Amino acid sequence: MKKLLLTTSLILSTLLSHAQTVNGDDMRIEEKNLLSVQPTSINSANSAAPAPPFWSNTFSNPSDWTMVDLIYGGLQNWVISTTGPTGSYSAGLGAISSTSASDGFAMYDSDALNSSYSPQEAYIQYNGTVDCSSYPYVNIEFESYHRKFRDSIFVEVSIDGINWDRYEVHPGQATNTTTANPELVSVNVSATAGSQPVVYFRFKYEGEWDYAWMIDDVSFAETPNNYVTIDDEVFGGWWIGYNISGGIGCDYTFNPLSQLAANPYKIEAVIRNAGVAPQNMTLHAEAFDQITNSVYTSTSNSQYLSSSQQDTFAVNNTFNPTTLGLYELNMWGVGDSANTDTSSKQTVVTQYSYGKDLNDYQGSYILGNATRENHVTSFFDIYANENLYSVDLYIAPWSIPGTKIYGVLYEADPTAGANPIYLDQTDDHTITSSDLDSWITLSFANPISLIAGVGYEMGAAGYQHPSDSAGVGYSGLALGTENSLFDANGGSPNSAGTPTWYYITQNPMIRMNFDPASSGSTISKNLIKSDLNIYPNPANNVISISNLDNFDFLQIKDLLGKVVYKKNISKVNNTTIDVQGFSTGTYLLNIEGSSTTTSRKIVIE
């Protein structure tokens, strides 16, 4: 079984494109119950093509445009540049990959311009006008790249330069989600610009302290009579299906049979009528196995879309394969007079592995270094009871051999804004040179029972150390889920010394492993957890610890990472800790020696 899983994993890796490696953290403080979605790229065109533009501009000449900051007198304004955003949160987006990005694009870098939740409002306006007198139906088209936090973005159009009609860009985009890079936006502005000889237009940003918005290659074109698009495609049922099955509808790219039987693939997408003529639309789906046999087809109910209207479509039948291997899922919309393009995604049906990554190392998150001590987690819904034996994770190639890391498991708290609840962790693992740029397995001391209907955050963690450093890979943007990073020592400049939970935008290469054979498979020379004797646990007065010969120092942290107790234990075998003054709850006991570090969970009643 493991050989088959390895084979299909390699197949999946070859099907997905590689991206430039990025090293570091990508974080944004926000409530813990918000989700992220990765839009998918379009593969094959089968829709009526839009009309060619009758006017265009590529931002190659900044004198064509006027930038106006409405609040700060020009201190927080648009720019035309060839360099991407530079804010602590926005820099990870990188520059827009537009058709003519090399000669300049427009950008509002909200994060770099602000540092608090204070209003921002600015626009970039074309200095001339556009003659639309020959076109009763008109679309403004441009390439866009945007990550949303709390902002709103618009195209505003006027026929007198005084009174402006606004059209929202990326309507319905969820908080903490990122568009494709770039996404082609086509906005029907016929109500304002149709048949008008003089048309003014501008791009308007309204936010406070968000990410960034980049635009390029603007054009005006006649609105086609028949033109439909597909976007926000998912196979985890993020839009509608999760309301039926529970959870948050993740797109699991590695899906074990036990979970799949209880929660089959639910295929959904957003279809938009970008043409003039109304369309009766249906969503179609087809799945192919790894030898290209068609193994599933389904369609949605028909929905009527008037011009510029969009809606969410879900096919009527779920896809529930029972054979292990790679599957390709194709989705496309069919209308009265036009079809959308076809979008393709891949997933692997496994025996034991549960994950959301693309099996393609694209960058990394820091687990520990001289200033940081992080827990990087990936969210998992459990639809059928399972035993968790271990965690699989991908070690970043820049990690230093000799650095210690461990796996950690949290239960997701469904309360809005609540932090995850710590459950358990593996023994420490000392990274070796053979671990770099590859998958490793860290096992728990005992199997952990995962309960159907509960969400969990499976993670990897490290330690702050003056010379050691380690990271875990990421692969792909979050697909209808939340991934998190716990800055345990407040080492990030954004944490200002306070342990803090953050969102992260990419899917960490962290998977649950339900294989009983992986129990006890952790590769580590320091498996001393079973030798320690900690009693009583839970405790309410005094905790005794024995077998400490190899250790020099201990400390106790609460689940926010605050050190509540520390003690030198050099040259002792046994010690006691008075815990009567501790608040009731769960704590982490960290015990360190010259060559060994371990952690244990203790409970104070």
Q: Which of 43-47, 221-225, 369-373, 578-582 has the lowest mean pLDDT?
A: 43-47
How many other C-beta atoms are found inside a 10 Å radius of the C-beta of residue 116? 6
- Give residue 48's pLDDT band: very low, low, confident or very high (50, 70, 90): low
Q: Identify the residue with better confidence: 177 or 183.
A: 183
Q: How would you classify the pairing of strands 268-273 and 310-314? A: antiparallel
* CB 393, CB 472: distance < 8 Å: yes
Q: What is the mean pLDDT of residues 259-279?
A: 95
Give the model's pLDDT for residue 520.
66
What digits encode the pLDDT tens for the residues 64-89? 999 999 999 999 999 999 999 999 88
CATH second-level architecture of 2-30+356-518?
Sandwich (2.60)
- Give residue 573's pLDDT band: very low, low, confident or very high (50, 70, 90): confident
What digits encode the pLDDT tens for the residues 10-40? 333 333 322 223 334 544 443 222 222 233 3
Give the model's pLDDT for residue 478.
77
Q: What is the CATH number of domain 529-604?
A: 2.60.40.3080
Give the model's pLDDT for residue 528.
33
Q: Is the pLDDT of residue 126 over 50?
A: yes
Tokens of 343: 């979008």
Rounded Cα distance between 602 and 437, Å, is 34
Q: Which of 94-103, 251-260, 557-566 has the lowest mean pLDDT?
A: 557-566
Tokens of 95: 């520059």
Rounded Cα distance between 93 and 20, Å, is 12
Rounded Cα distance between 171 and 178, Å, is 13
Q: Is 365 exposed, middle or buried (0-12, 13-18, 19+ CB in 10 A)?
A: buried
Strands of 318-454 (E only): list them.
325-334, 343-350, 353-354, 363-368, 374-381, 386-395, 404-411, 421-425, 429-430, 438-450
- Give residue 4's pLDDT band: very low, low, confident or very high (50, 70, 90): very low
Give the model's pLDDT for residue 149.
87
Rounded Cα distance between 327 and 317, Å, is 17
Give the model's pLDDT for residue 302.
98
Strands of 169-307 (E only): list them.
183-188, 200-207, 213-222, 228-234, 254-256, 268-273, 279-289, 294-299, 303-305
Chain-centre distance of CA 103, in angstroms? 30
Q: What is the mean pLDDT of residues 471-494?
A: 85
What integer best gives the mean pLDDT of the chain? 86
Give the model's pLDDT for residue 532.
66
Give the model's pLDDT for residue 352.
94
Residue 554 dihedral angles phi and psi, to the nearest 5°: -135, 155
Residue 52 dihedral angles phi and psi, to the nearest 5°: -65, 150
> If phi over 0 gives left and psi between -120 and 50 gives alpha, with beta otherwise, what is residue 14?
alpha
Q: Identify the residue with better confidence: 112 or 605.
A: 112
Same CATH topology for 2-30+356-518 and 529-604?
no
Rounded Cα distance between 530 and 521, Å, is 15
- Give residue 568's pLDDT band: very low, low, confident or very high (50, 70, 90): confident
Looking at domain 53-222, which of 3.10.20.90, 1.10.287.3510, 3.30.70.1150, 2.60.120.260 is its CATH number? 2.60.120.260
How many other C-beta atoms are found inside a 10 Å radius of the C-beta of residue 278? 16
Tokens of 177: 């989600």
Rounded Cα distance between 177 and 183, Å, is 13
Q: Is the pLDDT of residue 49 over 70?
A: no
Rounded Cα distance between 396 and 473, Å, is 5
Tokens of 589: 């006991």
How far is CA 256 from each of CA 2, 220, 298, 320, 345, rounded to the nearest angstrom? 13, 48, 22, 11, 17
Residue tagged 């070859």 (tokens):
14
Give the model's pLDDT for residue 43.
36
Give the model's pLDDT for residue 40.
34
Q: Percent of the chain having pLDDT more than 70?
A: 88
Give the model's pLDDT for residue 105.
98
Cα–Cα–Cα angle for 352, 358, 363, rounded to 5 degrees: 120
- Give residue 506's pLDDT band: very low, low, confident or very high (50, 70, 90): confident
Q: What is the CA radius of gyration of the chain?
A: 27
Give the model's pLDDT for residue 1.
19
The closest of 584, 583, 565, 585 to 575, measured between CA atoms, is 565
Q: How would you classify the pairing of strands 363-368 and 470-477? A: antiparallel
Residue 463 dihedral angles phi and psi, to the nearest 5°: -125, 150
Q: Percent of the chain having pLDDT more than 90?
A: 64
Q: Which of 11-20, 140-149, 530-539 has the lowest mean pLDDT?
A: 11-20
The closest of 474, 491, 492, 463 to 402, measured between CA atoms, is 463
- Give residue 290's pLDDT band: very low, low, confident or very high (50, 70, 90): confident
Q: What is the mean pLDDT of residues 252-259?
A: 96
Q: Identify the residue with better confidence: 13 or 354.
A: 354
Rounded Cα distance between 548 and 560, Å, is 26
> If phi over 0 gives left and psi between -120 and 50 gives alpha, with beta otherwise, what is residue 130?
beta
* CB 281, CB 248: distance < 8 Å: no
- Give residue 231's pLDDT band: very low, low, confident or very high (50, 70, 90): confident
Tokens of 597: 């570090």
Q: What is the CATH number of domain 228-350?
A: 2.60.40.10
What does the chain come to in residues?
605
- Give residue 558's pLDDT band: very low, low, confident or very high (50, 70, 90): confident
The closest of 349, 93, 353, 377 to 235, measured between CA atoms, is 349
Give the model's pLDDT for residue 492.
84
Cα-Cα-Cα-Cα torsion 391, 392, 397, 403, nearest 10 degrees, comes to 30
Q: Which of 224-228, 378-382, 510-514 has the lowest mean pLDDT?
A: 224-228
Rounded Cα distance between 545 and 565, Å, is 14
Those residues whose C-beta lies under 8 Å from the C-beta of residue 573, and which sit 6 or more positions away, are: 546, 547, 548, 549
Give the model's pLDDT for residue 493.
79
Q: Which of 77-86, 348-357, 530-539 has the lowest mean pLDDT?
A: 530-539
Q: Is the pLDDT of residue 595 over 70?
A: no
Give the model's pLDDT for residue 50.
65
Give the model's pLDDT for residue 597.
64
Q: Prior bond to 171 cis, omega within 30? A: no
What digits encode the pLDDT tens for the residues 382-429? 999 999 999 999 999 999 999 999 999 999 988 877 899 999 999 999
- Give residue 527's pLDDT band: very low, low, confident or very high (50, 70, 90): very low
Q: What is the mean pLDDT of residues 262-284?
A: 95
Rounded Cα distance between 406 and 16, Å, is 29
- Give residue 557's pLDDT band: very low, low, confident or very high (50, 70, 90): confident
Q: Where are the domains of the chain?
A: 2-30+356-518, 53-222, 228-350, 529-604
